[in-house]
Amino acid sequence: MTLIEAPPEQRDPSLTPPRTFASAERIRVRAFGLADAGELAGAFLSALALVWLVYERLTPLSGILGFWVCVYVAFLGIAWFVAREQRGAVVARDQVVRIVVWSGGVGLIVPLALIVIVVVGHGYHALRPHFFTQDGSRVGSLNKATDGGASDALVGTLEQVGLAMLISVPLGVTTAVFLNEIGGWLARPVRTIVDAMSAIPSIVAGLFIYIAVIRGLDYHPGGFAAALALSLLMLPTVTRTTELVLRLVPGGLREASLALGSTEWRTTRHVVLPTSRTGVVTAVILGVARVVGETAPLLLTLGAAHVFNGNPFSHPQNSLPLFIFNQFLLAQPSTVARAWTGAFVLLVLVLVLFLAARLAGGRGAGHIGRVRRWRLARKGLA
C-alpha cells in the first residue's frame, strides 16, 4: 500500500483544481495473497508428513481412504493452530470453517466425476454404431456384448417420452397460466395438489396407471400406458417451473397491455407467454430430462419386448432404461456390458438435455433471432 502524494508542483492548492492521479494504486482489500496461500500449503504439507509418519503405527486405521481422512483432519487442526497463533482464536475458527465449507462445496465435484468416469469407462468400449440400428430380438446372454443393439429400446424411449410431452406440456402450461394469470379461489387447492403430485414416488405413478388403465380400462401394457405414467411424473415439474417463470414477468407489462385496450387472453398470448418463452422451454426440457431415465413406472406398464416396435399403441414396447435394467439383472458378462453401454448412451442423452435447458434459459426475452429480423425487414419494420 503506497502512500499517494501529490507531486511537488501540484501542492499549492490555489494554482490548479484537483486532478485525478494516474498512478493511483487501488487497494486490494480481499485479496487472497501469497502469504495466505503459503499458510494453507504449509499446513497441508505438515499434515501430510505427520500422518505419513504415524499412520500405520498409531491409528487403528488402514487403507488409503483412512489415510486421506486423517490427513484432512490433521490439516484442519494445524491450520487452526497456525491461524490462532497468527491472528487470534476468533479468526482461527473462521479459517477452519472456511476450509470446511470450501471442501463441502467443491468436494461434490468428486462423486459427479466418479459417476461420469465409471459410466463412460464401462460403457464406451462396447459401443458400436449398430447399437442404434439393430434391435435385441435375436441376441441372448450367450452372444457377445457387441452383438445386436437397442434400437427397439431407443425408439421406445423416444416415442414414450414424446407422447408424455404431448400430454403434459399443454396441460402443464395451461395449469400454470391458470394459477398465475387467473388465480381465484380454485388456485390455492390446485397449487397444493400440484405440489403434492411432485411428491409421488415414481413407482406409485406406475402402480396407478397399471390399475386404472391396464386393469381398469382393460388396456394392454405398452408404450402408451408407459407414456401416461411418465406424464404423471412430468406434469408437476412442467407446471411448477412454468408458474415460476410466469411469475417473473413484471406486472407492469400486463398493466401496459390492458391499458392499451387488450383483453386478458390477448395479454397472456401476446405479452406474457412470449416474454417467458425461454423459461417455458427450459421448464419443458427439465421435465423431459426428469422422465427420460425413469425406470420404475416402466417396470409396471411396458410389458416385455425385444423386437423393434414403432407403434406405442399396440403390443409391448421396450425402452432404454428398461433395457439397461433387464440386461444388468441377467448378470452375465455380456449382458452387463450391454447394460453399461446403454447407461452410457442414457447419460449422454441426459447431459445433452441438461445443457440444452441451461442454454435455452440463458437467453433473455429480448433476443430477436435472425429469421424474425428478416421477416420484419421485409415489411419495412426493421
The interface region with another protein, picked from 34-42, 132-140, 148-156, 272-280 by CB under 8 A, is 272-280
Q: Which is nearer to another protein, 151 or 275 (CB)?
A: 275
> CB of 271: closest distance to another protein in angstroms?
6
Closer residue to another protein (CB): 50 or 119: 119
Residue 83 C-alpha cell reads as: 491461524
Q: Does 211 bind another protein (CB under 8 A)?
A: yes
Q: Site mask, another protein, residues 92-111, x = CB under 8 A?
A: -xx--xx-xxxxxxxxxx-x
Q: Give the binding range for another protein (CB under 8 A) out of 12-20, 70-78, 88-96, 126-134.
A: 88-96
Give the CA dihedral 96, 99, 104, 107, nearest 10 degrees. -150
Of 50, 158, 244, 356, the one binding another protein by CB under 8 A: 244
**Cα–Cα distance between 148 and 338 in angstroms, integer?**
10
Q: What's the min distance (Å) between Cβ of 13 and another protein? A: 31
Could you say which of 7, 218, 252, 371 contacts another protein (CB under 8 A)?
Answer: 252
Backbone phi and psi for residue 146, each to the nearest 5 degrees, phi listed first: -90, 0
Closest CA to 153 of 289, 349, 332: 349
- Under the binding rule (CB under 8 A), the answer on residue 369 touching another protein is no
Chain positions 6 to 65 lying near another protein, rule: CB under 8 A, are: 60-63, 65
C-beta of residue 123 within 8 angstroms of C-beta of residue 104: no
**Residue 358 C-beta-side C-alpha neighbours within 13 Å:** 6
Torsion from C-alpha of 341, 347, 352, 355, nearest 10 degrees: -160
The least CB distance from residue 278 to another protein, in Å, is: 9
Residue 104 to residue 110: CA distance in whole angstroms: 10
Residue 199 C-beta: closest distance to another protein, Å: 4
Cα–Cα distance for residue pair 199/39, rounded to 1 Å = 48
| Interacting positions 105-144 with another protein (CB under 8 A) | 105-109, 111-112, 114-115, 118-119, 122
Q: Is 187 in the site for another protein (CB under 8 A)?
A: yes
Handedness of CA 36, 38, 39, 41 (dihedral sign): positive
Does residue 4 bind another protein (CB under 8 A)?
no
Interface pick for another protein out of 38, 216, 310, 333 (rule CB under 8 A): 216
Question: 67 Cβ partners below 8 Å, 6+ apart?
Answer: 51, 55, 61
The alpha carbon dihedral of 176, 178, 184, 186 has a sign of negative
Give the number of residues in contact with another protein, rule: CB under 8 A: 121
Footprint of another protein on residues 218-237 (CB under 8 A)? 232, 235
Say whether residue 274 binds another protein (CB under 8 A).
yes
Q: Is 255 in the site for another protein (CB under 8 A)?
A: yes
Residue written as cell 423431459?
A: 288
Q: Identify the three-state secondary structure at position 60.
A: coil
Compare residues 18 and 265 and give the one whose CB is closer to another protein.
Answer: 265
Q: Quick one: which of 8, 17, 129, 189 contacts another protein (CB under 8 A)?
A: 189
Instruction: Check binding of 166 to another protein (CB under 8 A).
Output: no
